[in-house]
Amino acid sequence: MKKHNFSAGPSILSEYTIKNTAEAVINFANTGLSLLEVSHRGKEFVAVMDEAQALVKELLDVPEGYHVLYLGGGASLQFCMAPFNLLRTKAGYLDTGTWAANAIKEAKIFGEVEVLASSKEANYTYYPKGYTVPEDLDYFHITTNNTIYGTELRTDPDVKVPLVADMSSDIFSRPVDVSKYDLIYAGAQKNLGPAGATLVIVKESALGHVDRVIPTMLDYRTHVKKGSMFNTPPVLPVFSALQTLRYYKEMGGVKEMEKRDVAKAKLLYDAIDASKMFVGTVTDPDSRSIMNVTFVMTPEYKELEKDFVDFCAARGIVGIKGHRSVGGFRASLYNALPIESVQALVDAMNDFEKAH
């Protein structure tokens, strides 16, 4: 049975990515060697790295003066790398969820942190609006999509200070005005590739302004200077990411991805809103994420939540159990998920509701 994979991350990847990766593990670029055992300095992998950087620039229309890097360590390592490299005195953060809070915690090691807005008191059920960004900040940090809570900011804020964004769970789901950002980072394992690589887009002129000594591996300039090949990069995750980027280009780019993602999300949100059994957890409709749709059962049906997960599993629908801090369900609709899978989930919801 074909699975409908709604996992929050690591998560569904395109068939193209999976097939090409499996083939390369056997024979990479006709070298007669596995992708797992080739030198990262060989011309075949250098070509992979070059194209994986170039395609990010092309798909996101990255302006001159920016560098694209693939680093190890996950987005969680960026929580400290960003302030290590950019925080002189004070930074502003939005507290929009667990990952944002983790980023705030790390930044406090390096300087003063002003939390400009937070939805924590409401268990992060909306994306804050109407806050003011002081002009004396070294940077303003946002988490554009909050995987756990199903909230998202789908616009690029206009601020007068450098903007830093964790786009781990919604990058490539819409065109982004990169020129508004000094730094964008994203763990690969949602819309890009398998776990093990973190995409970084950094503005060269943003670097070199802090006084502290930065350990070599944590200094973005190290990786910029060496084209992301200072040390052995995560070879396979970068290769797989390249396959996804090629697939996006072939499909029509991020505008087309956005169109599909919006349609998928609408299908599911409409079903939730029409249901008497299921209810969305995000309180502000504007805050609803098109990547992660979080919903629960209404109090009278609450005890059926586990049954519904099993009901879905029997239909090949997996990965819909909600994060423990929200409960209920979370359906992640990342780029690679076909609308047919969303329809399968909606059908399951309708059938389950009718049966009870």
Q: Which residues are catalytic?
A: 99, 166, 190
Do the annotations mark residue 96 as ligand-binding? Answer: no
164-203 residues near its own copies, rule: CB under 8 A: 187, 189, 193-197
Give whichever of 6 and 66 is closer to its own copies, judged by the CB atom: 6
Query: 96, 165 in Cβ contact below 8 A?
Result: no
d(CA 264, CA 253): 17
Give whichever of 1 and 355 is closer to its own copies, judged by the CB atom: 1
**E strands present in the chain:** 4-5, 66-71, 90-95, 112-118, 139-143, 145-146, 151-152, 163-166, 183-187, 198-203, 278-280, 292-297, 317-318, 329-332
d(CA 160, CA 139): 9
- Residue 34 sits in the site that holds its own copies (CB under 8 A): yes
C-beta of 320: minimal distance to its own copies in Å? 12
Of 272, 69, 288, nearest to 188 by C-alpha is 69
Among 16, 51, 57, 72, binds its own copies (CB under 8 A): 72
- Residue 10 sits in the site that holds its own copies (CB under 8 A): yes
C-beta of 138: minimal distance to its own copies in Å? 17
Of 98, 168, 127, 157, nearest to 282 by C-alpha is 127
d(CA 34, CA 27): 5
Query: 83, 91 in Cβ contact below 8 A?
Result: yes
- Residue 228 sits in the site that holds its own copies (CB under 8 A): no
Q: How many residues bind its own copies (CB under 8 A)?
A: 65
C-beta of 210: minimal distance to its own copies in Å? 14
Among 46, 50, 54, 73, binds its own copies (CB under 8 A): 73
Do the annotations mark residue 231 as ligand-binding? Answer: yes
The amino acid occupying position 244 is T
Among 62, 176, 201, 236, binds its own copies (CB under 8 A): 236
Q: What is the DSSP string of 109-133?
A: TTSEEEEEEE-GGGTT-S---S---
- Residue 12 sits in the site that holds its own copies (CB under 8 A): yes
Do the annotations mark residue 147 as ligand-binding? Answer: yes
Q: How far is CA 120 from CA 39, 99, 109, 314, 322, in A?
A: 46, 12, 21, 36, 18
265-304 residues near its own copies, rule: CB under 8 A: none
Among 43, 105, 129, 255, binds its own copies (CB under 8 A): 105
d(CA 141, CA 77): 15
Among 144, 145, 151, 240, binds its own copies (CB under 8 A): 240
- Residue 235 sits in the site that holds its own copies (CB under 8 A): yes
Count CB-CB contacts under 10 A for residue 252: 11
- Residue 324 sits in the site that holds its own copies (CB under 8 A): no
C-beta of 277: minimal distance to its own copies in Å? 26
Pairing assessment for the beta strands 183-187 and 198-203 based on DSSP bridges = antiparallel
Give whichever of 232 and 298 is closer to its own copies, judged by the CB atom: 232
- Residue 233 sits in the site that holds its own copies (CB under 8 A): yes
Query: 308, 352 in Cβ contact below 8 A?
Result: yes
Task: Please give the radius of gyration of the chain, using alpha carbons only, rounded to the nearest integer.
Answer: 21
Whose tokens are 């993602």? That residue is 261
Piece in contact with its own copies (CB under 8 A), picked from 146-154, 171-179, 208-216, 271-279: 208-216
Among 50, 117, 204, 230, binds its own copies (CB under 8 A): 230
Per the annotation, where are the binding residues for pyridoxal 5'-phosphate? Answer: 75-76, 99, 147, 166, 189, 231-232
Binding residues are 41, 75-76, 99, 147, 166, 189, 231-232
**Site residues (CB under 8 A) for its own copies?**
1-3, 5, 7-13, 17-18, 21-22, 25-26, 31-40, 71-77, 79-80, 84, 102, 105-106, 109, 187, 189, 193-197, 213, 215-218, 230-237, 240, 316, 318-319
